[in-house]
Amino acid sequence: MQSNPFNNLPKINKRDAINILRKPITEVKFLADYYKAVFHLFNFPSEESERVLIDFIKYDYEKLEYKIAKRKAIEVLANFDCKKAIPIIAEFLKNDDDEYLLETAIWSLGKLKCNDINVINKICSLLYKQFNNKRLVIQTLTNLGVKQEIDKIRSLSIEKQSSNGVKGASIAALIKLSGEVDKVSDLTNFLQSSNQNDRHCAVQDIINAGHLSVLPCLVKAPISPSFKLKAIDSLWSNEILYWKNINLIESLDLVIIDNPKIINTLGINNFKKDLVFLIDQLFHTDFNRCYQSMKELDKFPADEVLYYLNKNWDRAKSDYGALYFFANAYKLLIDKKLSDNSILEKVEFLLSDSWPNYMKFKSSAIQILGYLNDNKFYNNIEVFSDEKLTPYWKNRYAALLVLQNKQIHIKKGFAKLFLNDSHRFIRLKAKEISLT
């Protein structure tokens, strides 16, 4: 499940959620309560929860809030792996007038590994209709291992009118279903698309294709590290360090350190080279622009960059995306041996409990802390190694990145704290440090 604003609301227990979903629409004061109830019922998988959700999706009302809750209920049933919901969900494939419901049904049937040939044929038929999300259809057929439309999918992979998203999903299907591994390079080309959404779609296509050979290209792509880590986590399922000439730990290190110098950024028209413009680009939603700005900032004197970063810090504090690149920009300055007490104060702000643990800048802040102040880092090492206190594995890995550069007797001792971690990447990194 994706992070959701309902996570910040008071929790609803199972009984309250069920009672809300059983209420007729005329008796519900706030229709948004339906969605809230469905969302929280996800935390209580059971036969009773499944029955209530199945009953809920059988009804149809024109109210938008109900439609949204209904789609979420279908998604939750799929996540519950509720096979008995398949016939009911399959009925929604007829809903040509509600494309969002149709898309949810397709995704859910793929998640549920539906093997009903009649249902599969209905999904296949959408490839021949004026359906906006053929990418999802192709992904679902790939997930289900359905090969009967491989020729149609091949044609979609080369049609001029096909979007990059459809082409990428089609290429992934050809690789996965037909073993056409010669097309892997075509798939990686989308990582260099000028459109960031196309680059993001390419990551999912790489995951669906199931080929580790693309990791060197993926690591250097101008996209968020979270997409890269998702791909590595999905593709690298075993506790092995090498696949052919690709080193897992080296790949993870590169992604989490995230040095902009190794990123293959794309050319940008009218990209100015003055500090005011470059700092402003760190607030951009396109990571390619942010990485290009970081490369240019690295060419300026460190004290000038520090001045402009500090000048814009208050503005960055309200933009967690910008905070990530500000933190990484401070890392670049530290690499140049610049030392400033204000950086340590900012690190303490980033590591404070006022921010959720999964914020992407936390791992950068941990690295900076380790570079600037050994005592504060070591005083927090038990926090960084504790899965309850540091639940996001990327942050625990960042602490190990700091440790690997410390004196041998220190790093080996502290690395032992991570050896029994629940995440295989943490165990492998801790083991590597312990053996060096």
Each residue's pLDDT tens digit in the chain (436 positions)?
344 444 555 578 999 999 999 999 988 889 999 999 999 999 999 999 999 999 999 998 989 999 999 999 999 999 999 999 999 999 999 988 899 999 999 999 999 999 999 999 999 999 999 899 999 999 999 999 999 999 999 999 999 999 999 999 999 999 999 999 999 999 999 999 999 999 999 999 999 999 888 999 999 999 999 999 999 999 987 777 777 788 899 999 999 999 999 999 999 988 988 999 999 999 999 999 999 999 999 999 999 999 999 999 999 999 999 999 999 999 999 999 887 889 999 999 999 998 999 999 999 999 999 999 999 999 999 999 999 999 999 999 999 999 998 887 788 889 999 999 999 999 999 999 998 7
Residue 209 sits in the same domain as residue 338: no
Do residues 92 and 125 both lie within one domain? no
Q: Pick from 95, 113, 131: which residue ends a domain?
A: 113
| Domain-ending residue, one of 93, 113, 133 | 113
User: Which among 367, 376, 387, 379 is positioned nearest to 427, based on CA atoms?
Assistant: 387
Same domain, 291 and 430: yes
Question: Could you give the angle at the alpha carbon of 210 between the alpha carbons of 208 and 212, nearest 5°?
Answer: 135
On whether both 119 and 30 belong to a single domain, the answer is no
Q: What is the 3-state secondary structure (H, E, C) of 231-298?
A: HHHHHCCCCCCEECCEEHHHHHHHHHHCCHHHCCCCCCCCCCCCHHHHHHHCCCCCHHHHHHHHHHHC
Q: Are 218 and 231 in contact (CB under 8 A)?
A: yes
Within this chain, do residues 21 and 107 fall inside the same structural domain, yes or no?
Answer: yes
In a domain, 371, yes or no: yes
Structural domain contains residue 9: yes
pTM: 0.89
77 and 173 part of one domain: no
Residue span of the structural domain in which 204 resides: 115-240
Residues 418 and 328 in one domain: yes
Look up residue 75 and give its two tokens: 């998604």
Domain boundary among 96, 113, 130: 113
Instruction: Please check whether residues 55 and 163 belong to one and the same domain.
Output: no
270 part of a folded domain? no
Overall number of domains in the chain: 3
Q: Are residues 154 and 70 in the same domain?
A: no
